[in-house]
Every structure is written in C-alpha cells, then in structure tokens.
Amino acid sequence: MNHKINIVLFGIGKAGSALINKAVKSRKELAIEEQIDIRFPVITNSTVAFFEKEGAKYSWEANFIQFSIPFNLENVVDYVYANNLENVVAVDATGSAEFIKEYAGLVKSGFNLVSINDNLKNQHPDFESEVLRTALNRGLDYNFIDLPKGNDKAAAHELFEAILAIAQKTKAVA
C-alpha cells in the first residue's frame, strides 16, 4: 500500500504550477519505486481554492478553473480534518507577506510546511526559529528554500525534493 502525502498548495503561479506538473509526471514512478502517493487535495491562489472531490479525475488546471470557490484558511484546515488527511504538507509558493503570518497556525494545525516565499527574509530573525521550534515540538518539518528569483523549474525541483524528504520521514515513522 502506498504512503499518501497530501499537499496543500498555496500559490499556483509559475513555481506552484511547475511543482504540480512535476509531481503529476513523477506520480507513477514514485508509486512503483518509493510506494509514495503524492496528492494535491487543496490548491489555492490568493482568493479561491480547489478542494478535491473523491473520485474526480485529476486534471488540476481544469478543475481549479471550474470548481474553485472563495476560501479562508479555516476552510482549508476544516477540509483537512473533515477528510482525515494525514501527512499534510502546506507549500507556500506565494509572494504574500500576509500569508507568512499564518505559518504558526498551519503548524499548530498539524501541517508540515515548506516555503519559497521571499518575504520571509523581511521577518524578524526570531520568526523562523519560532516556527521551526513549533514544528519540531509537534514532530513536523519546516523548511524555507531560499532560491534566486525567476527560476521556476529550480523552485519546483527544490520544493519537490523537500516534500519527498518529508514523505520519507513520515513513511519511516508509519
């Protein structure tokens, strides 16, 4: 049986879209070689979210356009709990300074967290260490990936590798 990793993606710009496409292309190989099933049950942009429906065929771009609805972070957390999603990784592929303020809440809600949000560089130095400490106290991962701007394929690759590292850790514990 494959080990499910549920990714909640915040930000479907170039890097977020590249991450989804990389995961979709790698899905079969990961399932066979690593026994890991990467899913994207929630995909958001700044105003709307797509919440995966059981049994729906996976075409994220069409589904996002057709089925996305206005959301807030509480809707996302409620969806994760209502659907008993485990091994949840929140990915911040946004450029939102406001969204960074939600990190502690995400981690406290049981989400591992991976970010490429450059606005983290503008936060107080203690901010990241507090998020990391909160994650570690809950047995979760927090990872900020500092990349040069504009290289979306590199960003997607690094995000994907960070997600796989979390997947391997959670699989070893399961």
Residue extents of the structural domains in the chain: 3-173
Residues with Cβ within 8 Å of residue 87, at least 6 apart in sequence: 3, 4, 5, 6, 112, 166, 167, 170
Q: Say what percent of the chain tops pLDDT 90.
A: 72
Q: In CATH, what number does 3-173 get? A: 3.40.50.720
Q: What average pLDDT score do residues 101-130 get?
A: 94
> pLDDT tens digits, residue range 61-107?
656 777 788 899 999 999 999 999 999 999 999 999 999 999 999 99
> pLDDT tens digits, residue range 26-74?
999 999 999 999 999 999 998 998 888 765 555 666 567 777 888 999 9
